[in-house]
Amino acid sequence: MTPLIFILIVLLYLGASFYLAAKICRALKRRPRWVRITVWVVVLLLDFGYFTMRLLPDGCLTAKQVLYILSATWMAMVLYGSVVTLMLDIVRYFAMTHGQGKIYHTPRQMVVAGLATLLILGIGNINAKTPEVVHYEVDSDKLESGESLRIVLVSDLHLGFAIGKRDVEKLVSIINRQKPDVTLIAGDLIDGDIAPVVEWDLGRDIENIKSPMGVYAVLGNHEYIGDDQKAEAYLRSIGGLTVLRDEVVDTGRVRIIGRDDVTHRRKYGEERKALAEMMGNEEKLSIVIDHQPIAIDEVEKAGVDMMVSGHTHAGQVWPMRMFTSQIFEVDYGQACFGRSVAIVTSGFGTWGPRVRLGSDAEVVVITVKGKHK
């Protein structure tokens, strides 16, 4: 995300938040002035709660967790609360232009808007905590006819203040029920702040994944948001988990190439290793793990059989998919580019609010089947 896009998103969010606060205060205009002032103070604290949280020392994990959850929940309330309130404004406008006279905001109207918003968020929260198993099939002439390879792909768990041990236990249980040959984790295992992950050892149950050919992970942009070196050290401490940073593993049946996230270039000014340098034996099935679904043209030119990615969350909440579908050539699902196949997952966890609307939490199962050459 470029700095300009980030600034525009922040300005849009603050505008929606102030619009919502102004409507609440308008409905409370007959209440004492201190009530309206309190509303503005609370809104400002929630708007900047995420940034305030990052300024607190690591020793204040509970306070940071409370600030994170409150500010993340408020973020979702701003999105859908402003939409619901805007719809009420449109209804008011049409009523006034059709002879109903001036209709004022009332506390009752704002309560109705608030309840509607909470209902939407409740549905989104249930959806976010109810992952699906999504299946894809890929044919390959690099496997013998009748041979198959079962791959489980997960991404974007975002371990931290909102997603913890129980979620990892659920993930591991789902993966093991799929009986994978190999498991691939396409980045953003950690949400950004490494302190709660290390202090509460949130990812340790990943050791319980049963995957005969191994479990392989790459770093995502959120590992870099925190401290990529500490994040890598923690992930490498998890038994059975292999972290690949522009590295290749040959399992015998398949070559797995783990690319470092492009955030490495932005943070350190160093280009990641060219894919062509890591390809090696083109007779063997090759799979690239790249957190962000970019550089697909490089994947195709290098003759890679399959690229798996995450990052986009398929928008996570409506209407964000409108933007991810424009930013990425493939922002969700399966697509073919010449001999190459790209598969992008919407991810298992969430960033910010524990809400999904217009997308699903998922674990992906890819079955690669051999065919006649």
**End position of a domain, from candidates 127, 143, 176:** 127
pLDDT in tens, 13-27: 999 999 999 988 888
Q: Residue 120 and residue 128: Cα distance in Å, rounded?
A: 12
pLDDT(334) > 90: yes
Q: Are residues 207 and 349 in the same domain?
A: yes
Q: Output the pLDDT for position 101.
A: 57
pLDDT(121) > 90: yes
HSE-CB at 251 with a 13 A cutoff on CA atoms is: 20
Q: Are residues 89 and 138 in the same domain?
A: no
pLDDT(269) > 90: no
Q: Are residues 100 and 60 in the same domain?
A: yes
Give the β-pairing of 254-258 and 247-250: antiparallel
Q: Are residues 257 and 178 in the same domain?
A: yes
| CATH code for position 288 | 3.60.21.10
Q: Output the pLDDT for position 252.
A: 85
**End position of a domain, from candidates 104, 127, 150:** 127
pLDDT band at 111 (very low <50, low <70, confident <90, very high): confident
pLDDT band at 295 (very low <50, low <70, confident <90, very high): confident
Q: Which of 47-61, 151-165, 182-196 has the lowest mean pLDDT?
A: 47-61
Q: Are residues 164 and 32 in the same domain?
A: no
Q: Output the pLDDT for position 28.
A: 85
pLDDT(102) > 70: no
Q: Are residues 169 and 265 in the same domain?
A: yes
Q: Are residues 147 and 121 in the same domain?
A: no
Q: How far is CA 71 from CA 44, 310, 340, 353, in A?
A: 10, 25, 41, 8
Q: Are residues 36 and 185 in the same domain?
A: no
Q: Are residues 200 and 84 in the same domain?
A: no
Q: Are residues 42 and 67 in the same domain?
A: yes
Q: How many domains does the chain have?
A: 2
Q: Output the pLDDT for position 100.
A: 61
Task: Give me the mean pLDDT over the 50-77 stretch.
Answer: 90
Mean pLDDT for the chain overall: 90
Task: Give me the mean pLDDT over the 299-323 stretch.
Answer: 93
Q: Output the pLDDT for position 103.
A: 60
Q: Are residues 118 and 175 in the same domain?
A: no
Task: Give me the mean pLDDT over the 169-179 stretch.
Answer: 97
**For residue 11, what are the domain limits?**
3-127
Q: Are residues 353 and 296 in the same domain?
A: yes
pLDDT band at 104 (very low <50, low <70, confident <90, very high): low
Listed residue (152, 91, 93) closest to 366, CA to CA = 152
